[in-house]
Amino acid sequence: MTTLIDIQHACYSYRQGEALTLEDISLCIARGEYLVLLGHNGSGKSTLARHCNALLVPDAGRVLVDGIDTRDEVKRQRVRDCVGMIFQNPDNQIIATIVEDDVSWSLAVRGMRLPEIQERVAWALNAVGISHLANRPPQKLSGGQRQRLAIAGVLALRPQCIIADEATSMLDPLSRREITNLLHQLRQTYQIAVIQVTHLLEEAILADRVVVMERGRIIQEGTPAMIFRDLDMLRALKLAIPEPLEFAHRLRGLGYPISPEALTLEAIAREVAGV
């Protein structure tokens, strides 16, 4: 797999002379990869995420997106179209009074012709599963549907990567799972890379790779099974351990040889049953 985003020794502070918010971060994100960025409040996740689509540029080091240096102001729009971002509150991203207009707006300002706009809007709404809501006002949609709309708005620009920065944190547990499932589905169907920023370990279980941040640094990196092996490290970072992981830990203590790859209750049940 080739590299889509290449972060090289990036350092960043919000105010000159103050402590670094990002301290010598080096990280490559591959095309089509599903990466979860984990860490508790204030560890620098959002700051790093904002470096991936040139909302912020590093004070030292550099970030290349599809080969473009994010400091290159002339090509900044290309970087932003390549890496779309959705945030905690979808309402900050919704501007139109009708769902389909909201998706078409960013295409129209880029000078796209109507047939192409219509085709992309229909495609994006279908991809996120809200085609049936195309003519509704966004404020009539549920929280989960509004987050789907925000994703459609980003998707219509045909990005190579979507960053979801705590995009599920305002949702109920069911909608939260649905949005995470949707991101996985978009990655699978369209080979779009996903960077999911979260402090919820359960959202990291299906990722290709998990990167753990603490105080502006990357302190761990690996597959979910590798990261979840060290529950004490995760507890020390004040991350809530999901029930299945605690359960598997207890079973191992009782002598059951549960594989570190078993991260869901179903997988653990299969291990115990020996199937």
Ligand X SMILES: Nc1ncnc2c1ncn2[C@@H]1O[C@H](COP(=O)(O)OP(=O)(O)OP(=O)(O)O)[C@@H](O)[C@H]1O
Q: Which residues bind Mg ion (CB under 5 A)?
A: 45-46
CB of 40 to ligand X, least distance (A): 6
Q: Which is closer to ligand X, CB of 102 or CB of 166? A: 166
> Among candidates 217, 189, 190, 195, which has minimal Cα distance to 207?
195
Of Mg ion, ligand X, none, which one sits near residue 47, judging by CB under 5 to 8 A according to partner kind? ligand X
Q: Which is closer to ligand X, CB of 91 or CB of 271? A: 91
> Among candidates 188, 185, 217, 184, which has minimal Cα distance to 203?
184
């909302």: which residue's tokens? 55
CB of 176 to Mg ion, least distance (A): 16
Cα Rg for the chain, rounded, in angstroms?
20
On whether the CB atoms of residues 216 and 61 are closer than 8 A, the answer is no
Q: Which is closer to Mg ion, CB of 15 or CB of 113? A: 15
Of Mg ion, ligand X, none, which one sits near residue 199, judging by CB under 5 to 8 A according to partner kind? ligand X
CB of 201 to ligand X, least distance (A): 14
Name the site residues for ligand X (rule: CB under 6 A): 14, 21, 39, 41-47, 166, 199
Q: Which is closer to ligand X, CB of 16 or CB of 139? A: 16
Q: Which is closer to Mg ion, CB of 45 or CB of 176? A: 45
Of ligand X, Mg ion, none, which one sits near residue 14, judging by CB under 5 to 8 A according to partner kind? ligand X
Sign of the CA dihedral running 256, 259, 263, 266: negative
Of Mg ion, ligand X, none, which one sits near residue 21, judging by CB under 5 to 8 A according to partner kind? ligand X
Of Mg ion, ligand X, none, which one sits near residue 148, judging by CB under 5 to 8 A according to partner kind? none
Q: Which is closer to ligand X, CB of 45 or CB of 187? A: 45
**Environment class of 149 (CB within 10 Å of its CB; exposed 0-12, middle 13-18, buried 19+):** buried
C-alpha 250/C-alpha 260 separation (Å) is 13
CB of 84 to ligand X, least distance (A): 18
CB of 55 to Mg ion, least distance (A): 12
CB of 203 to ligand X, least distance (A): 13
Of Mg ion, ligand X, none, which one sits near residue 39, judging by CB under 5 to 8 A according to partner kind? ligand X
Q: Which is closer to ligand X, CB of 42 or CB of 256? A: 42
Of Mg ion, ligand X, none, which one sits near residue 189, judging by CB under 5 to 8 A according to partner kind? none
CB of 241 to ligand X, least distance (A): 17
- For β-strands 68-69 and 60-65, DSSP reports them as antiparallel
